């Protein structure tokens, strides 16, 4: 059963408008939520994260909102640019003190196309 | 420059052959990971290692093997026992400390095609 879900496989947005990418999760024990951006045939790159104790984190054009009661987070990109066209993965992490590491669970990704 | 280097970027293999994918990092990270990506799928964890000479199975370890003899290196062997090995393989690393948030640093990936 998927613990992290991105229900929209794709999204198209006009340049300059807002892109909103959504993610739902089922495990209330996740510590952090992260967004990664991935271009074809390349590794994902970290975009922005949010701690489970916060409800908003902003970095330039990118803002992530967390609604813990709804187990939902979203990534807002404003204004959207053609270079933002990529697959965006939502991920949730849990820290395992015994193992001494974080474990990430990824969603299936949303392909964003920003139309000039 | 610090980063993660995966090689080869593209690899073709005949059925029944083992193949090893290389992953090297100079970020001084303790933890390293191997993920697999298939079309329309998220990243699925194959193996991970928090420390030299120790590694753990992830969600889809069957048909794969790893070693961690050096902190910088975490090679993945795709064995002939892996039933569907054609995929994009991603290596990642992270610092091991609480509060780090779990950010992973990824390599550029290796695409394996079984003929």
Q: CA torsion angle for A19, A23, A29, A33 (degrees, to 10)?
A: -30
Q: What is the mean pLDDT of residues A15-32?
A: 94
Q: What is the mean pLDDT of residues A103-113?
A: 92
Nearest to A16 by CA among A102, A74, A77, A85: A77
Query: Which helix H or strand E contains A24, and what residues bound it?
Result: strand A19-25
Nearest to B23 by CA among B43, B48, B42: B48
- Compute the distance between CA of residue B107 and CA of residue B115 in angstroms, rounded to an integer: 25
- pLDDT for position B115: 86
The tens digit of pLDDT for each residue in B2-56 reads 799 999 999 999 888 999 999 999 999 988 999 999 987 889 999 999 889 999 9
Count of other CB atoms within 10 angstroms of residue A35: 23
Q: What is the mean pLDDT of chain A?
A: 92
CB pair distance less than 8 Å for B102 and A9: no
A101 touches B at CB < 8 Å: yes
What percentage of chain B carries pLDDT values higher than 70? 92
Q: Is the pLDDT score of B97 beyond 80?
A: no
DSSP β-bridge partners for residue B64: B78
Q: What residue in B sits closest to A90 (Cα-Cα)? A: B42
How sure is the predictor about A100, in pLDDT bands with cuts at 50, 70 and 90?
Answer: low
Q: Which residues of chain B neighbour A41 with C-beta distances below 8 Å? A: 88, 108-109, 111
The tens digit of pLDDT for each residue in A33-49 reads 999 999 988 899 999 99
How sure is the predictor about A77, in pLDDT bands with cuts at 50, 70 and 90?
Answer: very high
Q: Which of B42, B101, B111 sits opposite A109 (nearest CB)?
A: B42
Q: What distances in angstroms separate CA B45 from CA A53, B33, B97, one per listed residue?
A: 26, 7, 20
- pLDDT for position B77: 97
CB pair distance less than 8 Å for A44 and B94: no
- pLDDT for position B15: 87
Which residues 6+ apart lie within 8 Å of B56 measured at CB? A99, B47, B48, B49, B50
- pLDDT for position A115: 97
Give the distance, in angstroms, between the CA of residue B40 and the centroid of all CA atoms in the same chain: 19
- Compute the distance between CA of residue A65 and CA of residue A73 in angstroms, rounded to an integer: 5
Which residue would you say has higher pLDDT here, A99 or B85? B85
- Compute the distance between CA of residue B44 and CA of residue B17 in angstroms, rounded to an integer: 23
- pLDDT for position A97: 65
Which residue would you say has higher pLDDT here, B11 or A100? B11
Q: Is the pLDDT score of A96 beyond 80?
A: no
Q: Which residues of chain A neighbour B104 with C-beta distances below 8 Å? A: 44, 46, 104
């Amino acid at each position: 059963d998927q613990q992290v879900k991105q229900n929209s496989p794709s999204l198209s947005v006009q340049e300059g408008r807002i892109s909103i990418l959504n993610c739902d999760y089922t495990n209330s024990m996740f510590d952090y939520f992260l967004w990664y951006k991935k271009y074809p045939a390349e590794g994902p790159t970290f975009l922005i994260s949010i701690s489970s104790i916060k409800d908003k984190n902003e970095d330039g054009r990118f803002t992530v909102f967390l609604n813990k009661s709804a187990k939902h987070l979203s990534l807002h990109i404003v204004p959207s640019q053609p270079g933002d066209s990529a697959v965006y993965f939502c991920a949730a992490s849990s820290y395992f003190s015994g193992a001494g590491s974080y474990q990430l669970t990824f969603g299936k990704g949303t392909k964003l196309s920003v139309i000039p | 420059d610090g980063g993660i280097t995966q090689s080869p970027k593209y690899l073709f293999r005949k059925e029944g052959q083992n193949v090893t994918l290389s992953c090297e990092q100079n970020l001084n990270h303790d933890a390293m990971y191997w993920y697999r990506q298939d079309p329309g799928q998220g990243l699925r964890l194959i193996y991970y290692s928090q420390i030299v000479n120790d590694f753990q199975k992830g969600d889809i370890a069957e048909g794969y093997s790893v070693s961690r003899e050096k902190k910088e290196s975490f090679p993945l062997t795709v064995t002939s026992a892996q039933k569907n090995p054609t995929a994009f393989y991603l290596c990642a690393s992270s610092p091991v400390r609480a509060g780090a948030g779990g950010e992973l640093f990824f390599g550029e990936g290796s695409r394996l095609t079984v003929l």
